[in-house]
Structure 1
């Protein structure tokens, strides 16, 4: 049983970001969403809420320091050594098919990996040719990247390839912070009832 997810609609503020996420859910060909802003701005909560809206869509976080092989998939060594045949072992992109691929601190990824993610997100297909393997599979996912500009910029050529880039740079006002706390406490005390209220 999966843990309940805080609903996208219940997030206080961030209306432009919620709209951008919903538009990408309607048409993934838009090219994903890049969210700029400091920590504590509910970026991952919004992305999880989006995955929940997709009706069974998975929420996959790209592991920090993931290699290209881990992302696209590679040769299954157990099959190669044990059975003497080449077999494809799927990676992160296969796991994200049909859901959301969340890339925290996308600006700290090597440029070639950002390019790779954007290419696959745009085409909806992951093609792998290496180690004697030629394989392709569907990889239709919504790409949500986050970055804190204080930790490094993203090259303009890569920035331009995201469908939307939004900056969250204003801290909530005291009244909004109080509402954030009220909603979070209500969710934590009874997630099903809270989610039903926001369905």
Structure 2
């Protein structure tokens, strides 16, 4: 569903409203902790992430910096790129890194440049995929098949925004602020609850059952494959509108207020559905604030909490042997009781 040169337009994706909304929330509020997408193969999961990355405007970077450092970032660049570049800047596309399942830990976090070490005797760090994803998106398909220690490492870095590498006599700390998106098919293995809980949002995607949607998806993919530039031009206005909405929401986000009443509502919801720990309440708060910002509101309302509750909580629920209706249904019932329409 995507061209190697031109990404499929984000607003041209048919259906999958919950997945697209979760990605928009993560783009507005990176502190959400990423998005986990469960669903069938071939439902546009990677296409949606790549499309959102392609939609965002080019970012200003320090020329020659291997970590995509921002020129106005006050923290020092580990290679001194900002000092060497002076006031010069350049533009780069928002990174989209697709992490392969077979990736080693060295490839992910970075390692000693052995070729340079052997040739010159100099110890030099070779950045890994986390450095390449800085200020962009890191996408992991079939994350439930990735080794647990790598998933744990990725989540740690995603939350802290810093990658720390200490090996072979090297001690490196570099920025790695990215939006982590994982996807997987539950039929091929589940992610451990302890790791799943650390994702901010979770969404389910399914193969469309509506015949009209299925036909429209095939038609759009075919038109895009035959003439990507012409197809993208058709959605230029809607793409620009989405881009402006993200920009406005990012600017408004720090000003959005959350009353104690909304915090209490979040706590009631988490308690009612049996969410483990307090991470759900914090995520619910951040997601509701981002939802309000996208709506152009300066205060979180009950409707904003209701709109994000399922995404923020469905993967944090304990299994209830007396209730086999599923986490989504349990959350829907709690929302109906606590936030009546």
TM-score where L is the length of structure 1: 0.95
| 1:57 match: secondary structure | coil
Q: Where does residue 241 of structure 2 map in the other structure?
A: none
Tell me, in whole angstroms, the C-alpha distance in 2 between the residues paired with 1:191 and 1:172: 26
Q: Which one has more relative contact order, counting CA pairs under 8 Å at least 6 apart?
A: 1
SS at match of 1:71: helix
The answer for the alignment partner of 1:17 in structure 2 is 19
Q: Which residue of structure 2 aligns with residue 198 of structure 1?
A: 235
Query: Which residue number in structure 2 is paired with residue 42 of structure 1?
Result: 44
Shift of the 121–47 alpha-carbon distance from structure 1 to 2, 3 Å rule, reads: same
The 5 Å alignment of 1:142-153 reads 142-153=179-190
> Which blocks of at least 5 consecutive residues in structure 1 are unaligned?
none
SS class of match (1:165): strand
The aligned residue for residue 135 of structure 1 is 172
Task: Give 1:193 shift.
Answer: 2.3
How far, CA to CA, are the matches of 2:217 and 2:11 in structure 1? 12
When Rg is computed on C-alpha atoms for both structures, the one with the higher figure is 2
Counterparts of 1:146-165 in structure 2, within 5 Å, are 146-165=183-202
Query: Using the alignment, how far apart are the partners of 1:193 and 1:169 within structure 2?
Result: 29
Deviation at 1:169, TM superposition (A): 3.0
Q: Give unmatched runs, 5+ long, in structure 2.
A: 58-92, 237-341
CA offsets 1:60-94 (integer angstroms, 9 cap, x no match): 11122111111000111012111112110111111
Q: Whole-Å Cα distance in 1 between the matches of residues 94 and 29 of structure 2?
A: 15
Q: Residue 101 of structure 2 aligns with which residue?
A: 64
Report the 3-state secondary structure (helix = DSSP H, G, I; strand = E; otherwise coil) of the residue aligned with 1:25. helix
Task: Name 1:86's counterpart in structure 2.
Answer: 123
- Tell me the residue number matched to 2:259: none
* Number of the residue aligned with 2:53: 51
Give a deviation string over 1:7-36, Cα, whole Å, max 9, x none. Answer: 111100001110100111111111111100
Contact 2:137 2:178 in 1 (8 A): yes
Q: In the TM superposition, what are the counterparts of 1:152-191 in structure 2 within 5 Å?
A: 152-191=189-228
Q: Give 3-state SS (helix, strand or coil) of 2:166's partner.
A: strand
Q: What residue number does 2:157 align with?
A: 120
Q: Distance in 1 between matches of 2:200 and 2:232?
A: 29
Q: What residue in structure 2 maps to residue 101 of structure 1? A: 138
- Aligned twin of 2:330: none
CA RMSD for the aligned pairs?
A: 1.2
Relative to total residues, which structure has the larger strand share, 1 or 2? Answer: 1
Q: Distance in 2 between matches of 1:3 and 1:169?
A: 27
Which stretch shifts more, 61-70 or 185-194?
Answer: 185-194
Cα distance in 1 for partners of 2:209, 2:217 equals: 9
Distance in 2, matches of 1:112 and 1:130, equals: 17
| 8 Å Cα contact 1:50/1:100 also seen in 2 | no
Q: TM-score, normalised by structure 2?
A: 0.56
In 1, distance between residues paired with 2:152 and 2:101?
A: 17
